[in-house]
Amino acid sequence: MPNAANNPVLIKHHRITLRDFTPADCDGFVAYQMDARYRALYNQPDSPETRTTSTALFERFLGWQDETPRQNFQIGIFDAKSGEILGCIGLRQQDMPAHVAVMGLELAPACWGRYRLALDAINLMLDYGFSRLGLGTVTGSTGNGNRRITHLATWFGATLTQSRPGPDWMTQKGWHEVDWSLTRDAWLAKKAAK
């Protein structure tokens, strides 16, 4: 199995490209995080502090690319034709047991509801994690009010493992956090059945 941990990530698909962020992507990333719909979801104000927090998060993603060994892969989702940033997706192994990573997906508000985009990004990232990084399990969490993500996780063969109180922004919406887990074997079985 090839070791992809310290190679740049570039995954091409006919609709989207998943790739490591570059400094030139910062403005697009911060712009979608400053969108009023995004800020409303997380109860964030339109303020210089919110912009600074988004910029710092982006810079953390860039910093992860230089770590040796690389354990965190937070990469951009881009339109294959226009190059427009559509969101980001990640697999984070730091502080996890061996061969386990946490997946996170975030679509820009203009892309909310684009299920095919989410399916493509998740499928490509799962394939990368299981085949290139040698992962055995991918986990994740979402708010129970985010039924779309919960549905996507189960569509890929994941099982819901736990429900617990979530962060303040979830609690304010009356949501709780739902954890899910997907093994390589379950993912391969689901893939073979399609």
What band does 143 get if pLDDT is binned at 50, 70 and 90?
low
Residue 149 has pLDDT above 70, yes or no: no
Give me the pLDDT at residue 61, please. 98
Q: Annotate 26-67 with DSSP letters as a single string.
A: HHHHHHHHHSHHHHHHTT--SSHHHHHHHHHHHHHHHHHTT-
pLDDT in the model for residue 96: 96
Q: For residue 138, what are its two tokens?
A: 């991918």
* Of the candidates 182, 166, 183, the residue with the CA atom closest to the CA atom of residue 174: 166
The pLDDT of residue 179 is: 84
Q: What is the pLDDT of residue 6?
A: 67
pLDDT tens-digit series, residues 22-39: 999 999 999 999 999 988
Strand partners, 16: 79
pLDDT value for 152: 66
C-alpha of 183 from chain center: 17
Q: pLDDT for 166-189, tens place per residue?
A: 667 666 666 667 788 999 999 998
pLDDT over threshold 50, residue 155: yes
Decide if pLDDT at 2 tops 50. no
**How many residues can be counted in the chain?**
194
Position 157 scores a pLDDT of: 78
The domains found in the chain, sorted by start residue, are: 10-193 (3.40.630.30)
The mean pLDDT of the chain is: 88
Among 5-9, 86-90, 142-146, the least confident range: 142-146
Per-residue pLDDT averaged across 68-91, rounded? 97
| Tens of pLDDT, residues 38-60 | 888 788 889 999 999 999 999 99
Average pLDDT over every residue of 1-22? 84
CA-based nearest residue to 173, from 44, 39, 42:
42
Q: Angle between the 26-34 and 48-64 helix axes, to the nearest 10 degrees?
A: 140
DSSP code, position 8? P
- What residues contact 175, with CB distance under 8 A and at least 6 apart? 143, 144, 145, 146, 166
User: What's the pLDDT band for 144 if we cut at 50, 70, 90?
Assistant: low
Task: Tell me what pLDDT residue 59 has.
Answer: 98
Extract the tokens encoding 108.
């820009």
